[in-house]
Chain A
Amino acid sequence: QVQLQESGPGLVKPSETLSLTCTVSGDPISSYYWSWIRQPPGKELEWIGYIYFTGSTDYNPSLKSRVTISLDTSKNQFSLKLNSVTAADTAVYYCARLVHWFDPWGQGTLVTVSS
């Protein structure tokens, strides 16, 4: 059974870089697409982007200039970096496996942007 778990700092200062890692167990990361999704407080879910095991990526145009998704096959992990964060980037961040639908998901991690 595939399981995903997000990890990373829960507090990031404005203008700095948000960095999160998703650890995948039960399935080699060298297959499927892997994605990041976020949900700001009181708002809808927002797709951030995906990475394929080949390294190819696609990002939400609204975040494209600030986001990088990468993977580490040796650790069966993929990561998210979002730079120049503001309070608007405060959200619960989820990682998920992507097959044109998202399944399964991690439990999510709250990242707050505040000084």
Chain B
Amino acid sequence: QSALTQPASVSGSPGQSITLSCTGTSSDVGNYNLVSWYQHHPGTAPKLLIYEGSKRPSGVSTRFSGSKSGNTASLTISGLQAEDEADYHCCSYAGSGTPPLYVFGTGTKVTVL
């Protein structure tokens, strides 16, 4: 089972909106509504931003939103802020028939210009 494909880097200016993609297969992203997204500032604990594709945990800014179409999940960051500069990782449940059970994306580094 290969890692989910994410763009290596995405950049945007403060106030802009950017969208990060996460492409998998019909065995993982396309087969389950169980994509999650994580924000990771190096040296700190990764933080859950989105679960079940589009749900936000309590306390996560409404500027973060998730969606899915076919085998590709997306994370949109609206109103980009300097503090959003971080690494972003997607993850999908892949089911017991397609090990491993959970597969992560290749990661996207977001730069705020």
Known contacts A102-B46, A102-B48, A105-B47; 17 further A-B pairs (Cβ under 8 A): A35-B102, A37-B104, A44-B89, A44-B107, A45-B89, A45-B91, A47-B91, A50-B101, A60-B99, A60-B100, A94-B46, A100-B36, A100-B51, A100-B93, A104-B48, A105-B38, A105-B46
A: number of interface residues (CB 8 Å): 23
Binding site for A on B (CB under 8 A): 3, 34, 36, 38, 43-48, 51-52, 57, 89, 91, 93, 99-107
Measured between beta carbons, the chain A residues less than 8 angstroms from B38 are 102, 105
A44/B104 contact (C-beta < 8 A), A102-B36, A103-B57 known: yes
Q: Are A101 and B91 in contact (CB under 8 A)?
A: yes
11 sample A-B contacts, Cβ–Cβ < 8 Å, listed by A number: A44-B104, A45-B107, A58-B101, A62-B100, A100-B34, A102-B48, A103-B51, A103-B57, A105-B47, A107-B43, A107-B45
Contacts of A27 in B (CB 8 A): none
Partner of A47, one of B48, B57, B102: B102
A105: chain B residues at CB < 8 Å are 38, 45-47
Give the distance in Å from the alpha carbon of A100 to the alpha carbon of B57 in the complex. Answer: 14
A47 to B91, CA, bound (A): 10
Question: 1/0 per position for A10-25, CB-CB distance to B under 8 A?
Answer: 0000000000000000
- Are B45 and A46 closer than 8 Å at their CB atoms? no
Contact call B99/A61, Cβ cutoff below 8 A: yes
Q: Smallest Cβ distance from B1 to chain A, in angstroms?
A: 9
Of the listed residues B36, B57, B102, the one surrounded by the most CB atoms of chain A closer than 10 A to its CB is B102
Q: Identify A44's interface contact among B36, B45, B47, B105, CB under 8 A.
A: B105
